[in-house]
Amino acid sequence: MAITRKSQAEIAKMRSAGRIVAEVLALVEGAIRPGASTAEINALADRHIREAGGIPSFVGYIGGRRYNPDDPRAYRWASCISIDHEIVHGIPGDRELRSGQVVSVDVGVIWQDWNGDGARSFICGGPEAATPATAGLVEATRLAMMAGIGAARPGNHVGDIGIAVEAIALERGYGVVRGYTGHGIGRDMHEDPAVPNFRTRDRGIRLEPGHCLAIEPMFTLGHEETALMPDRWTVVTVDGSLAAHFEHTIAVTPDGPEILTRV
C-alpha cells in the first residue's frame, strides 16, 4: 500500500472522526467503575459513535486490513476493552470490572469515509484505587505516546517516533510490546507505514506535512512477549504482567504534529 499525504480537506474530515473518538473515550472514563460490565461500556461507545453520525470502524474487521461483516471471524464490537494483562483487542462481554484494574479502551470511527483511532488506559475506581506500580505504568505509557507524537515532525523519520517512545520505557524499566505497532491512517483504518514503538535499524520514511499516523505505545510491567488467546483477538502478556495502551491519531503539519483525536 502506498504511503499517502492527506490534503487539508481530508485532514479536516479525519479531525471530525477523531473528535468523536475523543468524545467516546471521555464518556467511557465516567463509565468505568467497579461492577460495570465491558458490554455496557461498549454499548455506550457504539451509541455515541452512531448518534454523532459516525460508523464504528472495528465492526466487520477480520484482520490483515480486510473487512467482511458476513465472515464469522469478523470483529463485531465498537470498541476493544482489554483488562490487566490483556494488551490490546480485548472483546467486550459480561465481565464486571473490579477496583484497581487497568482497563484499556480502543475506539475507531469512520466519518465521511475517513478514520480516527484512539485508545486510553484507565484505572477502575480512579487514581486512589491504583497501586504505585499500576499508576506508574499507565502514566509512563501516556508520556511515551506524547513523546512519540513530539517526534512526528517534518524532516524526522518514522523511526524517530520509536526511539522517543522506547526511551521512556528504558528510563523507567518497562517492557515494550514489539509484535504490535502504530500505523498510518486515512481512508483505511490501517495504512502504511508501520510505526514501531522501539528503535529499529531502518529509520523508515521521512515525515512530511500530510502524513497521518496512529501512534500507540503498549508497555508492560514485565516481559514484552505476547500470546494470542483462543478467541483469535485478545492479545495478552505471556508472563501475566499488567499492560497499558495509549493511542492518538495525528497529522504531520508544517508546524509539527497535530493531535486529531481530541475534543
Q: Name the pTM for this structure.
A: 0.96
Q: What pLDDT, on the 0 to 100 scale, is given for residue 20?
A: 98
Domains of the chain plus CATH, in order, are 8-257 (3.90.230.10)
Chain segment 153-202, per-residue pLDDT in tens:
999 999 999 999 999 999 999 999 999 999 999 999 999 999 999 999 99
The size of the chain, in residues, is: 263
Q: What pLDDT, on the 0 to 100 scale, is given for residue 66?
A: 85
Q: Residues 154, 207: contact at Cβ < 8 Å?
A: yes
Instruction: Output the average pLDDT for the chain.
Output: 97
| pLDDT band, residue 43 (cuts 50/70/90) | very high
pLDDT at 84 over 90: yes
Residue whose C-alpha is closest to residue 258's, from 190, 212, 194: 212
